[in-house]
Structure 1
Amino acid sequence: MADIVDTAVNAGSFNTLVAAVQAAGLVDTLKGEGPFTVFAPTDEAFSKLPSGTVDALLQDIPQLTKILTYYVVSGKVLAADVVNLDSAPTVEGSSLKIDASSGVKINDATVTTPDVEADNGVIHVIDTVLIPA
């Protein structure tokens, strides 16, 4: 298997997320021992943002880092565990709201593919970019 970053690169649908992680200097962290749980928005999710949003974030590294760390939960939280939670604390410091009553929603995002395993954790694919308050 590969680590979280290489798993995301190999999937081919997280190019924007990987570029953001690289710009924020978080590659070494996410290649670290972990384990980490990452709620990862796809390129399609990023394309739903207003025009220029991604470029603006790439110029504001502190805000970009805050958003990216909002996708990361310490520990390996598999789908079987997620459905028993109503929230999860993020590395950013606030919590994600979890609703498993009809599929799994993380805040306003739907988990489209759960449990993409990596050497140092797990990725859950989401369809919407999450922005912390």
Structure 2
Amino acid sequence: MNTVTNIPNGKNLVDTAAANGSFRTFGKALDAAGMTETLRGTGPFTVFAPTDAAFEKLPAGKLESLFKPENKEELVSLLNYHVVSGRKTAADVGKWDAARTVNGQSAPIILKDDQLSIDGALITSADIGSSNGLLHGIDKVNIPTKQ
């Protein structure tokens, strides 16, 4: 896990993700879900953002289906499963058994051999600071069990 700086960069979470270059699909998903304004807001939020490579691992057609207007509620639920309230570093998260996500579901946290995961997704880049929270890059898209 690469730990990046926890220093706020003056950009909000959405702009920080966009500037990173590894979260283009995540940004498009936020747009499609109508969540960009929320994650540009005061926060603070901690976002476990799937990388573009993580989105590529979804079953064929799943991403396109999620982006359809009629599936917006499912997309919002999925994205909210990647967000927790507050500014939580990887060290903070590593002390938990589970993360209470904004969608209301708990996501299991496992710390093993210095590898931190949330619901099976490894945190590949941690503690990317922004003005309104922290972003952690993860290597898979987590799907909530209930929408």
Report the TM-score, using the length of structure 2 for normalisation.
Answer: 0.89
Shift of 1:52: 1.0
- Structure 1's unaligned 5+ residue stretches are none
The total of aligned residue pairs comes to 133
Matched, 1:76 2:92: no
- Report 1:1-133 matches (<5 A): 1=9, 2-59=11-68, 60-102=71-113, 103-133=115-145
The residue matched to 2:99 in structure 1 has which SS?
Answer: strand
- Tell me the amino acid that sits aligned with residue 125 of structure 1: G
Shift of 1:80: 1.5
Shift of 1:7: 0.3
The residue matched to 1:100 in structure 2 has which SS?
Answer: strand
Q: Distance in 1 between matches of 2:142 and 2:45?
A: 17
Q: Which has the higher contact order (CA 8 A, sep 6+)?
A: 2
How many percent of aligned residue pairs carry the same amino acid? 47
Q: Tell me the alpha carbon deviations over residues 65-111 of structure 1, each in whole angstroms, 9 at most, x when there is no partner.
A: 00000000000110121111111101000011100122101111000
- Structure 2's unaligned 5+ residue stretches are 1-8
Q: Distance in 2 between matches of 1:81 and 1:118?
A: 17
User: 4+ residue runs of structure 1 moved beyond 4 angstroms?
Assistant: none
